[in-house]
Structure formats: C-alpha cells, structure tokens
Structure 1
Amino acid sequence: MKLGDLSYMNPWWEGKEDYHARRWREQRIHWWPKWADELSLEPFSLNFVLGPRQVGKTTGIKLLIQELLKENPPESVLYINVEILPDYRTLSALIREFQELKENEGIKRGYIFLDEASSLEGWWRGVKPLIDAGLLENDVVTVTGSSSLRVKRDIEMFPGRRGKGITLEVMPLSFREYVGVMDLKRPELHREKTLRLFEEYLKTGGFPGSINGLPMDDLLGAYIGELVRFGKSLEIARETMAAVIRSAPSATSFRALAKATSGYSYKVVQDYIEFFRELYVLGIAYLRQGEQVLYKREKKFFFRDPLLARLFSAWSGTQLREEALYEWLVQEHLYRRFGEVYYYRNSYEVDAIVGDLKVEVKAGKAHRKYPKNVNVLEKEDVPFFLLDATPP
C-alpha cells in the first residue's frame, strides 16, 4: 500500500471537500466539538482521543482538519483510518512516505491523524521507532480509539515521548450539553420545556446521529462488531447484559450475575463486563463506607448513556426499568464531573456518593426518611440536578 492509495481518505490533496465535514454541515442539529479546541497543535505532540463508537471523534478530527487547511498546505495533513491496514509495518511505511512528500514539497510542519488505531494490533510499533529516531519532531500526531483500556495500555508504550500532547476522552453529550445544543437559555426558568427536552434526551442519548433522527442500528452494529473483532461470544455477551439490566438498580456481584445466566462462570461474566466498560458502555459504582472503598463487595453497574441502555436492553430482550435509567443518569453525571462515583449501604442505601455529596434517586415519591445530608431526587428533579454544574 502506497500513500497515493489513501487519496480517497484525504480528499483535500485533490482540492475536494471531505465527506464527514459536508455531512456535519448538512445535519439539522450540529455543533462544534469543543474537545477539538483542546488538542495540542504544536510540534512535537502525540495526542490521544478516546471515546465510544459514533460519538463524533472522526467528524471532530475532520472539522479540525478543515481549520488547519486554512493556514497550511493540503500536503501537510495526513489522515489514516487504521482499520484498513494489514499490519503496523504498513502504517510505518505510510508515515515515512508522508515525511518524504513533505520534504519534497518544502513543508516543515505536518499533522498526522490515526483514526481507530485500537483496531490494529501493535499499531504503536509503526509510530514509536519513528519518534525515537526524531523523524516526527516537526509533526503533530493525533491518535483516536474506541477501546479505552486497550489504548490506555498502548499509551504506556510512549513514556517521555508525548511531547506537548494530551489525552482526551470524548463522550456522548451530557444532558447539560444537550440542552446547550438545543439552545435553551436559562433552562431553570423554562421548567416545562426542560422536562420535554429531557424526555427526548432519554430516547436519543447524546450521540450526534440519534439527535439528528438517524436510525441507530449502525451504532448497535458497531458494538457487536467490536465483540466479534475481539473474539467475544455474542451469546455470552447477550446473557451478561440481560443479567445486568435485570439486576438494576440493585447492587449485585459477578457471582450473582453469573447465576442469572445459563451456566457461565463468574469469571467469564466479569470478563465480559470489563469489556463493556472498555467500550464505554458500562460504568461501576463501588460500595464506599466512610473512607473505605470495598471493591470486592456488591457493585452498582450503570450505563454511560441512555441510548446505549435502550439499545442493549432491546438487544438482550430485557425490559428497561425507569427507576434504573434515572439512577444511571445521576451516576454517570457525577462520574463525569468528579472522575469517580460510589454508593453507600448500611441501615439505608444511597445510590450515588462523591465526597460529601450523597444522592438518592426515586422515580416516584420517596417512602422513607433519609438523613438531611442526602439529596433525594424524585422523577422531575433529576433533569435539573443534571443541569447543575456546581461542585459539592
């Protein structure tokens, strides 16, 4: 494979408009990805952009490329969808050929975008030697991936070789971000409209495609494709997901989930749940009592976006419980804000705690008294809690 074979991925080389950028512009609802402004664009930088499939990583990269082309020649930008490459040697050869092209054109600074690098085993072997040899010292390299633990493991292969680069996680829009995209100012003053938007958000989640009314079969298909790619059994994945959804919103254990399957061991169930965590589908709230986190005790598993909850509920043939969905939204909200979320259980249970902030979610009216320091949220309280960005 030669660099010329990638011209269809780099239409700006031939003065053509990029497909993703055009499609973004034509969407009824679109927004500039703020994370694209955070990337380091000063050589040498090795950036990593992580996040679930179809969250807009590729589109964000293509929009950033459009901005770069306003001040840089077309030949200074290389985009590679790494999924199509047979091995890391091909990746290395393409980058070296790109360096030769720049030199021939008298271009000093280059921008290299490696999309979905986590799909190619050992991709880093095609980049690291070039960094060590100083061949990329005038370049900015940005790597994206949809498998968090896999890419995070690969990041460790570049100790002291990141330059000015940073690592970003791109997630589906939170409800607060969704309200901003819908251009609702001061939502706390428009209660009914905010509640209607929240009902829509529960259906679409924060994925650009679903927000624009596109069918989301492709999104589910992308996750099924990841399962197949990494040699996972769809039957085990389906049973594991069904067990997780049926157990919610109660805390449970890997052993209890395994008993809810047709006979898989708790080790197998644990492995599949960890894989779903790696794909940004599930999160875990561990039990915390005082300052102690009890990692081996029962856990609360939560979906990281309401659309993902609906898709996997339908895929696994399991009914989605409303009270679980509301609790998951609060747990994800706190996890994004503070990087951690736990739950508490003693004589009473609290669904989500971070620091001194304690939140109990009730889809209906609360039937018991909680301590004064526990925020009890009823159904219509949840969207306004999600809009609050005030730290505890």
Structure 2
Amino acid sequence: MIKREIEPKILQDWNSKKAIVLLGPRQVGKTTLINDLVKEHSVLKLNGDDPQTRIQLSNVDFNFLKNLVSDYEVVFIDEAQRIENIGLAVKMLVDANLGKQIIVTGSSSLDLANKINEPLTGRKWEHQLFPLSWQEVRNEYTFAGAIQRLEEFLIYGMYPEVVTSSQKRKVLLQLAGSYLYKDILELVNIKMPDLLMKLLHALALQLGNEVSYNELSKILGVDRQTVVNYIDLLEKAFVIFRLYPYSTNQRNEITSKPKVYFYDNGIRNAIIGQFNPLKSRIDVGALFENFFVSEKLKRLSYDDFYGKMHYWRNTQQAEIDYLEILENKINAYEIKYSPKVKVNFTKSFTEKYHPENCFVVNSNNFWDYL
C-alpha cells in the first residue's frame, strides 16, 4: 500500500473523544487507509452501501447503537453519506463517551453536509483524501522513478488503482462511468442524468479556460441555474473544483467566470476518450496546468493552508494562471509545460498587487513547488 500523507494527521486525532470524518472521491483509498490504521484493534465495520446497514443505522435508537458497538474498540462507518440520520447516530455515540473511536468516511459531501456536519458540530475532526499526490508517488517510487512517469500521470492521472495497474485505460473508463457519480445519481433527484454527462464533457473540453454559465446553458439547451446547480453537484462529489478570479472589486476585473479543474487528469481524459501520447495532443498545456493546480490543492489541504487559491485576469485579457493568497501576501504562478516558453509577468498585475513572489512553473521544476 502506498503511504498516504494524511495518515499522521488522522493518528494525531485518535482517542480525542471526537469522531474522525474522512471525505474524498470514491476509489481514492479511504477504506484501504482506514483498514490499515485499525488492523490492530477490534473493529465494527459498517458500510452505507449495504441496504441492511442503512436500515439499522437510520433508526436512531441509542440502546440499539450502544449494544451494537459494545464489543469493539473502533466503529468504522464507510460510505456514510448513504445512511439517513447518520449524523444523529454518530452524535449519540460521541456524546455517550463510550470509549470507542468513531471513524466515518464518505465519497461525497452531498448529504454529509446535512447528515453529518450539523449534528457533529464540535464533535468531529474532518480530513479530505485525494487521488495520490506527487509527494506520495515520489516517496513510493523515488524521484527518478516518479519523474519518468510524468507523462503517464498527465494522461492517466493518479488514482491509486490506476497508478499501480497495468490496465490503466480499463480501470479509468470504469471509474469515469456512473460509479464515480453514484452519489449524485442515487442521492439527488437528478431529472436529466444525460445532461450531467454532457456538461462534464463540455467542462473537460474547456479545461484551464474560464467557464461561462450562460454559454454552457446555450450549448446544453437548459437554463443557467440548472448549469450552476449541476456544477455544484459535481463539485460536491469531488469530480471537479472551481478556481475563482481574484478581485479587489475593481471595475476592470472579471469576477463572474471561474475556471473549472478536475481533481484528476485521468478522469478528465476518460470523459473525452483521449489517452493518446502528449506528442500528438493539442491540450498538453491544459493537462499540465490541471495537474499542477490539482496537486497544489492536495498540497495545501494536507499542509492545512488557510489562505485562498485564485487566478487573475483583467478586461484587457492579461492573465496570471494561479495565485496563492495568505494574509495579504500573494504568490503568483505562470504554468507552462515547456521550459522553453519565455514568461513575463504583466505589469498591470505586478505594479498593482506587488506579489511577494512570481514563479514560472514548468515540467523541469514543478516539484519545487509541491
């Protein structure tokens, strides 16, 4: 098993008299990680994908719950977002102070926001697990081994099973099918499931570019609010995430169009059905930008970064690919796959915002920033 960066943080929260909540997309290794951490304990394992478990735990009865967990040190509830009233059930167990470590995992924040977060206010430590990070792969395969696989990561992504499989395309196509969107399709009343896939395809083709909700609504033949709602669902299911433009409310800055990135390059490429090598692609720059920004998201999450991630563009189309802003200090990044591309940071940005640092990231140095 590839060592996960988040493991020490979870162990730090052990025996804290709070529930440990681990969120992340399906198939990123949440269950594998927790099973490894609890292997020396007596564990009650419950899975929200199991109908019988859903029935048992949806009936919030304290005496039943107390007896259910009485013989175990650890209670591990997997895919908890599928269990009605699970937040109340976990709250009862935590408040009862039974000496049990409660661990809850979920593959979406769709219903966890209602079923877990509110009832567990002040009673949980929450973590997020992503597809494998560059640092995790580097630690497992050495720097030399990891850097030789950069093209593979740009094309096939970094889901654990994909990285370790000899049938990467087959695994990815299964992941990018309905299994990845299982929570959206089953837990939310999706009136137009085909629209979800068409929207994903459109977003995949606009990778690294600003996304106009109005344009998407015209392309898909639905109203703007439907597009916004479906993008919200995809974000809550950890398929995509949005990067918003940086603004100080100046008139000449765009504030309405986010960029949309995929948590994983491989999922994006599976959606559009393109696994051809980099030398025959026209989207190499977008792939590298998605890779770097998604790796930044992982890095900052694991490092407990509390600042903000943005991009910047003004009405004259001057642009900075990526910004990190912490306590009014700005680090600016221009992201180019080829080290040969010359980059000049636009004065309309540097003279106005006075960034702390300006970095040019390429395929020959990206690891210095991750």
Q: Deviation at 1:114?
A: 0.5
Find the partner of 2:67 among 100, 124, 127: 100
Q: Deviation at 1:250?
A: 1.9
SS of equivalent to 2:49: helix
Q: Deviation at 1:83?
A: 1.8
1:1-392 to structure 2, matched below 5 A, reads 30-39=1-10, 40-42=13-15, 44-68=17-41, 74=42, 77-85=43-51, 90-91=56-57, 96=63, 99-100=66-67, 110-132=73-95, 134=96, 136-153=97-114, 154-160=116-122, 162=123, 165-182=124-141, 184=142, 187=143, 190=144, 195-213=147-165, 214=167, 215-216=170-171, 217-221=173-177, 222-229=179-186, 230-232=188-190, 233-261=192-220, 263-290=221-248, 296-314=255-273, 321-336=283-298, 337=300, 338=305, 340-346=308-314, 347=316, 348-355=318-325, 356-364=330-338, 365-366=340-341, 369-371=344-346, 374-378=358-362, 380-381=363-364, 384-389=365-370
1:123–1:207 CA distance, 2 compared to 1 (3 A): same
C-alpha separation in 1, matches of 2:367 and 2:110: 27
C-alpha separation in 1, matches of 2:81 and 2:164: 28
Superposition TM-score, scaled by structure 2 size: 0.78
1:246–1:137 CA distance, 2 compared to 1 (3 A): same
Gaps of 5+ in 1: 1-29, 69-73
Q: Deviation at 1:388?
A: 2.7
Gaps of 5+ in 2: 275-280, 351-356
Deviates more, 1:139-148 or 1:248-257: 248-257
1:43·1:137 contact (CA, 8 Å) conserved in 2?
Answer: no
SS of equivalent to 1:100: helix
RMSD, aligned α-carbons: 3.0
Q: Which has the larger radius of gyration?
A: 1
Q: Deviation at 1:67?
A: 2.6
Aligned length: 330
C-alpha separation in 2, matches of 1:238 and 1:116: 23
Letter in 1 for 2:85: G
Q: Deviation at 1:291?
A: 8.0
Superposition TM-score, scaled by structure 1 size: 0.74
1:88·1:125 contact (CA, 8 Å) conserved in 2?
Answer: no
C-alpha separation in 2, matches of 1:194 and 1:89: 45
- 2:277 maps to which residue? none
2:3·2:140 contact (CA, 8 Å) conserved in 1?
Answer: no
